[in-house]
Chain A
């Protein structure tokens, strides 16, 4: 069974930093590209980053470019999102999602981790 489990969310002050993780199991992690998608409270879904496999090439939405860095460790079956210069509008549930191809569609999602940014 494919399982994606996010962790590391929490409360942080505006301007601060946070690193969230996504632990994968039930599939060969190194063969799949991965994404981060977030959802602000009561709002819709927003794609924010992509990490390819195996080259770990990354793409970002303009809203986080230059502030967030996505990475992966295939030896640990893990995906990461380093978030810097956090703003109030970054408050959201952050989901990791497995990509079927390059920015195609997402066939499995984690349960999400909540990041709250307050000024």
Chain B
């Protein structure tokens, strides 16, 4: 069981907005550690999507955004496209484990 909790799946039609939640605890997100997000297409390596809560690396479109408040974080994708279909993982640091923790992952399906 992950210390960061994500819904197993979300879905949306092309053009719509979806949000993926990531719920942590007082030892990770609630301890003011940043949340980061990765996208993984099946069979490929993860790629960094959002760093430090809401920063997009070069090449990530601005229709993708992140936010964090207290023990919760969220990844939002607007103007859904077929290419957005992938698995999404949140990640942070946990002080009780003294290590990196990942959420269980959310499969995004574009209907």
Contacts and interface: CB of A to CB of B under 8 A. Distances in A.
B57 A45 contact: no
19 contacts: A35-B100, A37-B102, A44-B89, A45-B46, A45-B89, A46-B102, A47-B100, A47-B101, A47-B102, A50-B100, A95-B45, A95-B46, A103-B93, A104-B34, A105-B48, A105-B91, A106-B36, A107-B48, A109-B46
A111 interface: yes
Q: Is the interface of B mostly helix, strand, loop or mixed?
A: strand
Contacts of B93: 103-104
Instruction: Say which size band chain A's interface belongs to.
Output: 20 to 34
Interface in B65-111: 89, 91, 93, 97-105
B89 A105 contact: no
Nearest to A98: B48
Question: A-B pairs with the 9 shortest C-beta distances?
Answer: A47-B100, A105-B36, A109-B45, A45-B102, A44-B105, A44-B104, A105-B51, A107-B48, A111-B45
B99 A61 contact: yes
A57 interface: no
A64 B56 CA distance: 32
B34 A105 contact: yes
Nearest to A111: B45
B9 interface: no
B18 interface: no
Interface string B22-46: 0000000000001010101000111
Given A47-B100, A59-B98, A95-B46, A107 B105 contact: no
B99 A105 contact: no
B105 A45 contact: yes
B32 to A, nearest CB: 14
Contacts of A60: 99
